[in-house]
Amino acid sequence: MSTFKNNVSETAGKISRNPVHRLDLDVLRRLQVDATGIYDRVSKIAKTRNPKKERQEIWLKHAVSMIDLTTLEGSDTSHRVRRLCQKALRPLADFPEIQVAAVCVYGNFVSEAKRALEGSAVKVAAVSTAFPHGQVALPLKIQETKALVASGADEIDMVINRGAFLRGDYSRVYDEIAMVREACGEAHLKVILETGELGEIQHVWTASEIAMQAGADFIKTSTGKIGVSATLPVSLVMLNAIEDFYLRTGYRIGHKPAGGIRQAKEALHWLALVKETVGDHWLVPELFRFGASSLLDDIARQIHHIKTGQYESYDYIPKG
Amino acid sequence: MKARKESERMEKIKRNGRLGPSSFPRSFAWAEYGPALESISHAKIKPRYDLFIGGKWITPASGKYFDSINPANGRVLAKVAEAGEKDVDNAVLAAQEAFKSWSKTSPQERARLIYAIARVISERSRELAVIETLDNGKPIRETRDIDIPLAARHFFYYAGWADKLEEAFPGVRVSPVGVVGQIIPWNFPLLMAAWKIAPALAAGNTVVLKPAETTSLSALHLAEIIEDVGIPPGVVNIITGFGKTGESLVRHPGINKIAFTGSTEVGRLIRKMTAGSGKKLSLELGGKSPTLVFEDAPLYEAVEGIIDGIFFNQGQVCCAGSRLLLQESIAPKFITLLKERMRKIRIGDPLDKNIDMGAINSSRQLETIGRYVQIGEKEGAVKYQAPLNCPKDGFFFPPTLFTEVETSHTIAREEIFGPVLAAMTFRTKEEAIELANNTFYGLAASVWTKDVAKMIEVARAIKAGTIWGNGANKFDAAAEFGGFKESGFGREGGPVGLWEYVQIEELETGEATHLENKKAISHSFDLNGQIWKTPKMLIGGKQVRSESGRYYKIFSHDEKLIADVPLGSRKDIRDAVEAALKAQPGWSKSTAYLRGQILYRTAEILQSRFAELTQIISAQTGCSDSAAQREVELSLNRILYYAGWTDKYTGNVNPVTQTDFNITYPEPMGVVGLVSPETPSLLALVSKIFPAIASGNAVIAVPSEKFPLAASILIEVLDASDMPSGVVNIVTGKAEELAPVLAEHRAVAGIDFSGTPELAKKIEELSISNMKRTWTHEPKDWESRFAQGRSWMRKYLEFKTVWMTALS
């Protein structure tokens, strides 16, 4: 089971990093999505790609290694963040070799998290650009990002300018991402599309493509702060966009569904979705993450059930 | 070549990434799915199955049984009775006996019983799914999610029609057909049984059904359900056996209708066997259905649609999307994506819930597929098979893609009935339509584009019974399904599906009246100072003589010579069909309003020849003036009647279970041949021509051989009207010579024949040249209001069902 340890550092640096590309509006215009087809495909995968028993246990453990364990509440405190970090270091009590990929926090807890995770390979991700709404002037977004990187954030989760996107100002969306990317320096950039606010599924691809052209390392579905968060159909469109971008450029972009993923079964569907689309190579924490908090505990319960045949209670699982 | 290089480059990137093959040294073995086997403990397969006749399980007269094999491992599942002639006879007798009471059972009672079948299928769905998978070889995910639920859905759907047949046929009088013989294939055993039995019972018929010999079990379990819910004995009889059993059923004189789903080859035999028997016939035959992918298509969804289109049920689907037509600009990228997707197909134990493709149904079919693939390679197409692990036991065949296929290649023309896809390219929309229609089949097509206007244009232009817009292989009980051209005739599903199981009084209860002359003699005819007239034929908008220059003499009822009429020949029919083929597309595309206007105007001009027509009819036949006047009057009314139908006869929006927007609407068949009876010479001719052209067909009419002079006047009237050239062609002469030429002509889509029973039989036999529709019945009384109507419009139309993806 040692393969789970230090997953991140093992292959770090082996994926060539996506640069900022020139904005190509022609590509945007060529992309076509049919919503019904997307829904049908998702339902087919969910019905016919289900690992069982021991296979499922292994899948779930890998799912844990791809979690960005998240707390993004106004009520967060240093203590709360430290407790989350402890959970990140040992997400499954019975399997000490497994750690999550990262913790994801608000900016003012980056140093706290860094300290708590010191010496481990677990990354610290911080939300930036006036998360979750992004409604501040661009210089402030740049400034915020720079400060977060300076305080030690390994990864930056930014939000796109949905207002600009919806009024069709794609170059504005692109510019903001590209500039934040520059501000990130070595820190990896996850671009949150907030797909629940984009109106239609075709827009998900358009926004994905803009983000990738602007140098995103990851494209992420949601902030988790609005009614509609990550869904399999939206992820499917984003994964298709990633494959299409990869076929054109050769760069592998990561994907992070976030918000609303609470059940082990859902995590399995997502892994299958990745496997069936972009393929096995994406099934690593460098290229796939779950943004989640309570998912972890349901996975713990499910693994318990696989191993013992008994159903588990949350009372037996240390709170994160 | 360039395209291939580009596609190779992209595949390389896809496989290796930019950094070369070693960029990810990590193993992904953990990400295997592993097996997820469906339990078979709840499926009780008996060691031996008897025949279900008259509500009892009967051993076959011969005592013979044959093996049913599990195609996934080649092992025997059960012994199944082989029905011989004697058993078929017993089954038909039982069905005849049961028909007496079942046809009189209250519609509400029939509805409840059919509903009960649906319910029990749903309750036993797990068991049925497993039995179907074991017997057929198809994956459990298909039997579980598609075959069985859809079978139940068909019974639900038609249960709902049983008590509203009158509403289903407004303005038409219908009654059940009687005993229906149904022969179904092995690709969707239970589902096909449901497609056949549900509408038959709803309309009050009784049934003798024969499943395919390799897949009898689910139909026999359906028989148990039918027994359990209390369908009266003999209403449904299930007899098992081989082609010989089917033949006995088809030939049995006690059968009133045959419904067949299977190959075009067998469909031809059945058409020939039933010719002249008066048996109603519906055939759902083969296909070579195209999938068109335009450059503005949602490409990833299109790839998935192709996977569903050709690899669903191992490609053993009559409407499988076996021809892929790609716009050149996206072809290389698309082929890359498709190959990549093919690598992710999971083939193996059909009982595994994580399996996409199971076993081919039989070793014989496996050989056929293998043979076609060899031919494909030999003819120069490039084969691709994804590196999948096909199990060694059982009859498995890997998903196969051929690129660089030419239209002349065997694999682009013939139905393979296996997981083999032939890919070709096109440059423009026009070329795409042309290639799509370049087949003698017309069952289905998929069209992929996000441009709605283009979608609708292409959907209308493709001659196929079902068009899936941005989709593939979707079915529902509320949506009609069936073919154009050699894919057969008749529709299953939807309200139109009921037509196949009812007799329509207006169309079918009449006896031929063609040889009886009206006898009243009133006065004799003379030229009366007029100039001698030279009757002509009408071909391609021109009044012409016979190509051969021959003519024949027409005498009045009192045996005076009154005209020389052109004696049409094979070549005249040929020319008329050419003209009709040229005219028909434009005619059907013109607005219904315009067609109506032209028909009204024709009536107007005909009216101006009223006196002359009356005179000529009575002179030829010797009928009274008032009788002749009545005939002309009725003919005028009939033209007006159909002129008014042009912009009213239409289809339905179907409430299907999918979120798709689904419409079924009538389309003209194309070029139709019409052969008129001797009398009433004008009224019968008008009764056939005008509904046919009102709905957008072009026609070649052969008027009364003995009394052609009214037609000669109609020719002049049509020539003087605004009727576009070639829409109506009239060839005079001997029906005996002309009708067979029409029946054999492969570009003629249907023939409506009135004449002797011997000639009618011959016409039906000859119709197998292209599996054209034939109508050989005629109304008892051409003057009756039932000699016209909605059903006459329906006669010359075929229904097309269009699915377009939409969110609910």
What is the span of the domain harbouring residue A120? 2-7+27-316
- Looking at residue B354, its pLDDT comes to 96
Query: Is the CB of residue A63 less than 8 Å away from at least one CB of chain B?
Result: no
Residue B53 DSSP label: E
**Answer CATH for B536-648+668-777 from 1.10.8.50, 3.40.605.10, 3.10.20.30, 3.30.420.40:** 3.40.605.10
- Looking at residue B561, its pLDDT comes to 85
The model's confidence at residue B506, banded by pLDDT at 50, 70 and 90, is low
- Residues 6 or more apart whose Cβ sits within 8 Å of residue B433: B458, B461, B462
Tens-place pLDDT, residues B787-800 = 888 889 999 999 99
Integer Cα distance of B324 and B339 in angstroms:
13
**Quick count: other Cβ atoms within 10 Å of Cβ A167?**
10
Tens-place pLDDT, residues A156-184 = 999 999 999 999 999 999 999 999 999 99
> The whole model's pTM is what?
0.93
**CB contacts, 8 Å: B351 with chain A:** none
How far apart, in Å, are the Cα atoms of B38 and each of B41, B130, B594?
Answer: 9, 8, 60
Query: Is the CB of residue B24 less than 8 Å away from at least one CB of chain A?
Result: yes
Q: Into how many domains does chain A fold?
A: 1
Is residue A41 a contact partner of residue B20, using CB atoms and an 8 Å limit? Answer: no
Q: In what order do the strands lie in the sheet with B257-261?
A: B56-58, B51-53, B236-238, B206-210, B179-183, B257-261, B280-284, B488-489
Determine, for residues A250 and B17 on separate chains, whether the beta-carbon distance falls below 8 Å: yes
Which of B28, B295, B300, B446 is most worth mutating to test chain A (most A CB atoms within 10 A of its CB)?
A: B300
Query: Is the CB of residue B344 less than 8 Å away from at least one CB of chain A?
Result: yes
Complex-level ipTM:
0.92
- As a whole number of angstroms, the longest Cα–Cα distance in chain B is 105
Is residue B76 a contact partner of residue B68, using CB atoms and an 8 Å limit? Answer: yes
Residue A210 lies in a domain: yes
- Looking at residue B527, its pLDDT comes to 52
Determine, for residues A33 and B298 on separate chains, whether the beta-carbon distance falls below 8 Å: yes
Residue A269 lies in a domain: yes
What CATH number is attached to the domain comprising A105? 3.20.20.70
Parts of chain B belonging to CATH 3.40.605.10: 48-285+495-505, 536-648+668-777
Which of B19, B23, B24, B37 is most worth mutating to test chain A (most A CB atoms within 10 A of its CB)?
A: B24
**pLDDT at B336 exceeding the cut of 70:** yes
CATH class of B48-285+495-505: alpha beta
Residue A20 lies in a domain: no
Min distance A25 CA to chain B CA atoms (Å): 16
Per-residue pLDDT of chain A in tens (320 residues, 90 and over written 9): 333 333 333 343 457 899 999 999 999 988 999 999 999 999 999 999 999 999 999 999 999 999 999 999 999 999 999 999 999 999 999 999 999 999 999 999 999 999 999 999 999 999 999 999 999 999 999 999 999 999 999 999 999 999 999 999 999 999 999 999 999 999 999 999 999 999 999 999 999 999 999 999 999 999 999 999 999 999 999 999 999 999 999 999 999 999 999 999 999 999 999 999 999 999 999 999 999 999 999 999 999 999 999 998 989 888 87
Min distance A202 CA to chain B CA atoms (Å): 10
Torsion sign (Cα): B510, B516, B517, B518: negative
Integer Cα distance of B300 and A272 in angstroms:
17
**Quick count: other Cβ atoms within 10 Å of Cβ A140?**
11
Q: Which helix (H) or strand (E) holds B121?
A: helix B107-123
Active site residues of A: 157, 220, 256
Helices (H) and strands (E) in chain B, counts: 27, 34
Average pLDDT score over residue span B128-136:
98
**pLDDT at B1 exceeding the cut of 60:** no
DSSP B197-247: HHHHHHTT-EEEEE--TT--HHHHHHHHHHHHHTPPTTSEEE----HHHHH
CATH class of B287-486: alpha beta
Region of A279 (left: φ > 0; alpha: ψ -120 to 50; beta: rest) is: left
Specify burial of residue A319 (Cβ count, 10 A radius: 0-12, 13-18, 19+). Answer: exposed
Tens-place pLDDT, residues B625-684 = 999 999 999 999 999 999 999 999 999 999 999 999 999 999 999 999 999 999 999 999
